[in-house]
Structure 1
């Protein structure tokens, strides 16, 4: 039986050296099926020298034909996909050996699953921290309760048809923040998710990340997300987590009174949620970027 083909979408902008590292990790995979890499250049000049015609390991180059940003670039890639499966990899991340073979094997063993993920290494300032998702928690309810940052988009493999039926990536999310989380919420409501409980992707966290310290945008995006997914109302711990993130973001931009109101609401929803305490600290003068940097050292975020 011929192994199913995979289209791998890499959205990229002005990071040629990192892009080549990401491509090397993908093209060196030992998966026996064909891999189509689709490089989507977003608001930058496409590098056509990267095109490769090998049908077993091809590379196509295109430009973002949707809205500017990561969501639009990924949708451009989904539209261009010619294989039955689509995978994503951020241009500054790296697939590790055996990643795709393990995932496609897991999908083959679970025909009801149209989506798969793996564990990751979070690399911050040169130090790797392994983050492994618990397969029992990778469910729609689980994602409402917890974002599970270990379920990272650079590990996603999904049926092309599923992504198209879902409408692709939401391009209306403010700043594109949490577009991967939104996709997980929608996908997990439609299909089970296969989990390879090994760290098979290296995620590089650094201050150059588009979302690093963009607090107002984060607050707006989370408000949009809660409105879009009313299921949050049925999971108080999940709602408290998201509102706690908003409280921190509000405090970080100096909206002290609003942050305190949001934080107190979080405490009423779930007093065990630590973000309301963090928000109080930031409102009192604790630098939010220092908090974020400390969390990143342990492979965590706000």
Structure 2
């Protein structure tokens, strides 16, 4: 058997048709053969997708053997993967045919540990192309999440992911922000590069798993602030996360916590819009879901 060039880890749960679209887009990659797809079923029965034409590629399906949820499922797949490079793709997203072949040359630089691409967002408001920066460092990522660097575009060196970088953090509440945490850690151990072109398709034309999981969002972001003390170096970045936490508490109807986190955010950056939105949501002027829906239609997130 020929050693795969890339192992694609795909965690899934109850999305059979979307999953088939995602896997088919991986099998349709140009100039990269063979690819190994590792499907990790989280709490649902295994489907080997025998109806899909594999071509020169392979597919293995396993159950999540670790913590239930996205982080544990991804780690199960990472440990099962056999290729020197490991990629992620969410089961409701897809890749354009030239995605991997454009990314792989970035790894000719031995310092590169993670490579991404720009994204094309499909939302209820239409299609939005978001080009990514070609390179980011830790200071960039502290200041901004840089949402163009989406986990469905990630390719990571396996030896680094299973070694110095470490697996996906399974302690992160609700697995919220696990991709951001991975980016921050990657920037601490090596270089993060990207192909700016929008080669990964992100589907926001359906309800996000996290769209109404406000407590998980608040807990996950609070955990990230504590885990990465470097945020204290960036008032703008600290305020951004504090504003998101404030917004989540506002959406939960917890006005005291929303006001408290909003004040912290404004104290670090008086221009932080999420803090003021949190106040409005906490007062019941507008719902959190309505704000997020309006942003998503424009290809933006909270």
How much has 1:128 moved relative to structure 2? 1.1
Deviations 1:85-136 (A, max 9, x none): 000000000101100000002222x332121000001111272111112225
Task: Specify the alignment match of 2:196 in structure 1.
Answer: 197
Task: Specify the alignment match of 2:182 in structure 1.
Answer: 183
**Contact 1:51-1:59 within 8 A present in 2 as well:** no
Task: Specify the alignment match of 1:32 in structure 2.
Answer: 32
**Contact 2:124-2:296 within 8 A present in 1 as well:** no
Task: Specify the alignment match of 1:230 in structure 2.
Answer: 229
Mapped to 2, the partners of 1:227 and 1:206 lie a distance apart of 33
2:79 matched to 1:85?
no
Structure 1 length-normalised TM: 0.94
- Number of equivalences: 299
Deviations 1:23-55 (A, max 9, x none): 110001013332100011110000134398979
Task: Specify the alignment match of 2:71 in structure 1.
Answer: 71
Secondary structure, aligned partner of 2:162: helix
**Contact 2:125-2:297 within 8 A present in 1 as well:** no
How much has 1:261 moved relative to structure 2? 1.8
Task: Specify the alignment match of 2:246 in structure 1.
Answer: 247
Mapped to 2, the partners of 1:130 and 1:53 lie a distance apart of 30
User: What does residue range 138-149 of structure 1 map to in structure 2 within 5 Å?
Assistant: 138-149=136-147
2:166 matched to 1:167?
yes
Task: Specify the alignment match of 1:7 in structure 2.
Answer: 7
Task: Specify the alignment match of 1:277 in structure 2.
Answer: 276
Secondary structure, aligned partner of 1:19: helix
Mapped to 1, the partners of 2:206 and 2:142 lie a distance apart of 28
Secondary structure, aligned partner of 1:48: coil
Deviations 1:54-82 (A, max 9, x none): 79411111111111111111000100011
Secondary structure, aligned partner of 1:220: helix
Unaligned runs of 5+ in 1: none
Mapped to 1, the partners of 2:227 and 2:142 lie a distance apart of 12
Deviations 1:199-253 (A, max 9, x none): 0011011453221111111101111111111111111111000000001011111
Structure 2 length-normalised TM: 0.94
**Contact 1:51-1:60 within 8 A present in 2 as well:** no
Deviations 1:127-169 (A, max 9, x none): 2111112225x21111111011111000000000111112210
